[in-house]
A and B are shown apart, each in its own frame.
Chain A
């Protein structure tokens, strides 16, 4: 190992500031998200293995066909969940706008867009609450599965077990994200970030929020599309 030659290669980072030019909190957030990705990955892979070792599975088009305020028996497969997904994705867009406004030190822009993001999050959670409630009324819960397999045979409870556990775990993440965003909003309104001279906290909250949205894409695919 050379002790002297490293000094002659200035392109290698040699201390004093961070190698990725990011501040430590953001680095931690990235590592946390990797860690969290493994949590969700483990859940979804578990779901996959159980599902593919089971004979038959309910058809999502039949299970998820209801819509709020529509008459009982309406056949609107995946319409409601598509709206939920759309809301969540739009909330990611407003989060991007909030981060962008933060980079421009635009307090008003941050505030407005954070509020929209929070509304989006709450709307998503409300939709999920309605859907869970509806399914529960149909007799679905952990350990209870009223739905038949697509081929008409009796289904194992693991369809509902995994559905409620994984969407619940994701919902818990959205809920945490909404709380984080509310804290960010309060800190923005109290001029905390103006005092610090930067809105880096918003960027970190944004990373988390985008991650939660990204996870939903996978959850959505696994439970509603496949």
Chain B
């Protein structure tokens, strides 16, 4: 379907060529509702995803501050906590139930709502049509639905925090029997029902979005934009969408079985259970491990759903700001592809200690360690892109370099954890917390920040303030290492995750000061994020205005649109593409945009 046909949904499929000599200045009459609320413009939907993601990031971050307060100061009381949390912090001390609810919701919210919807939702929407040269998504309507399903999921999740028995508190992985039996804990009652409804809505949102991203990347590229001329952002977002479309349905199956176990007396995940105060349950024949398989079949690809968009944006930003072509473009695509395939074949490394057959475990060790190969390819390509580059340290660039740093630091511990023998000691300790927060959480947040700082001029036609951005960056990267580096030592010493109070454990008392230090830094880092939020919202209205079309002197198509692109992105024809996206420093020219035809005397690479 041609690009034109998208904006004229009723028109013929076999329409005119995308480069017909029509003018496409669209002056649809737009009301506040159609422009800002039920918008079908991919750029507005991207902003909706971003701002909803920000709200969740603040809430999820605040939760981590609250439970770090408990871990850092287990003996102190904070009367103000009771005024916020009421019965969940009686006497100014967070109750164990509230602690578990906070940990669970923090995980769910950060993984799904911030780093999946907020990250790939934002940038897939914003960048795919702009960078491939399309007027909008393949189906703008489905795109709008995708956001509103996410919004619905958000509302349900939010409301779960206000039910009397509290939100779900059995960990973001929602393992049965805690998730399957209402009697198992207070949070397993209504809170879990709402959690599951919210997640089901989220799966629908992700499916609608993902199908759209795939169809758009494959079908809507402008003339000349072959797959191997796509910026790496698009490749990464494409693989992200494929991962989502193929892994979320398995989670949905798992959830459907869970709903039946919770409400309709089945025993898919239940067998031989005794609950204190209730007695032995009649359920038999099910398997709690089955849920873990279904969950991690999504759960592992999910970490790449989170990471790949960051990788793609970082590749692009590093190249633009090093004024050098990305090193090993095809190797970058190949490694993204390899990661996407391996993502589906390693899920059982989350389950080494569940009683998994050690032989099967060794297969998963091999497949898991194989991921080190494409990951290392990517890291070396980023480093060689930076090597001898003419580096411009814009805020976006700093965060992109920070991403590479985090990905290396966190990736190396992945090699430890991927070994099933080491995992016997390390599983469910703070070592795991440190590993996945650095490699997936902080790294992807850095990718997201890099993307926001870099594409902010395209989003709002203004720049964000650099000074605030530099403070934001340096405090965040230093803080992130100060928070998570010590956790490696705690984990090696065997300190288990998800414990409420370590001060009563002789073996972990020694970490009391360290825990307090981590909590303190966590609060500082959280506070610094408000600098970013202030910068973001202030700059929408008061930031320095963008005066040139291409402020970063970048090659990609989004910088050929007007400073404030309307719905349809380009006035008049969509530009034709003549080259790949990375002609920086070629033939003595600083950069050559993709729209520039290849000259007769141009050198070959």
Contact = CB atoms under 8 A, between A and B. Distances in A.
Interface in B109-148: 133, 138-139
A143 B266 contact: yes
Interface in B561-605: 576-580, 582-583, 598, 602, 604-605
Interface in A20-65: 20, 22-25, 27-28, 31-32, 34-36, 38-43, 46, 49-50, 53-54
Interface string B266-305: 1110000000000000001111001001100100000000
- Label chain B's interface by main secondary structure: loop
A19 B578 CA distance: 18
Interface in B212-244: 212, 214-216, 218-229
A156 B283 CA distance: 9
A74 interface: no
A16 B225 CA distance: 8
Nearest to B294: A42
Most buried by A among B254, B268, B330, B578: B268
Given A39-B253, A165-B256, A165-B260, A24 B138 contact: yes
A7 B225 CA distance: 11
B415 to A, nearest CB: 29
A130 B23 CA distance: 60
A221 interface: no
B153 to A, nearest CB: 18
Interface in A150-180: 156-158, 161-162, 165, 169
Most buried by A among B13, B14, B223, B330: B13
Given A15-B221, A16-B224, 18 more contacts: A2-B604, A2-B605, A3-B598, A13-B226, A13-B227, A15-B222, A23-B219, A24-B215, A27-B218, A31-B210, A31-B214, A35-B246, A39-B249, A46-B257, A46-B290, A53-B287, A156-B267, A157-B266
Interface of A: 1-7, 12-20, 22-25, 27-28, 31-32, 34-36, 38-43, 46, 49-50, 53-54, 142-144, 156-158, 161-162, 165, 169, 196-198, 200
7 contacts: A2-B604, A16-B17, A19-B227, A28-B215, A32-B245, A43-B256, A142-B266
Interface of B: 1-2, 10, 12-14, 17-19, 133, 138-139, 207, 210-212, 214-216, 218-229, 245-250, 252-254, 256-257, 260, 264-268, 284-287, 290, 293-294, 297, 325, 329-330, 576-580, 582-583, 598, 602, 604-605
Q: Which 10 A-B pairs have the closest CB atoms?
A: A143-B265, A156-B285, A42-B253, A39-B249, A24-B138, A161-B266, A3-B579, A42-B250, A16-B223, A18-B219
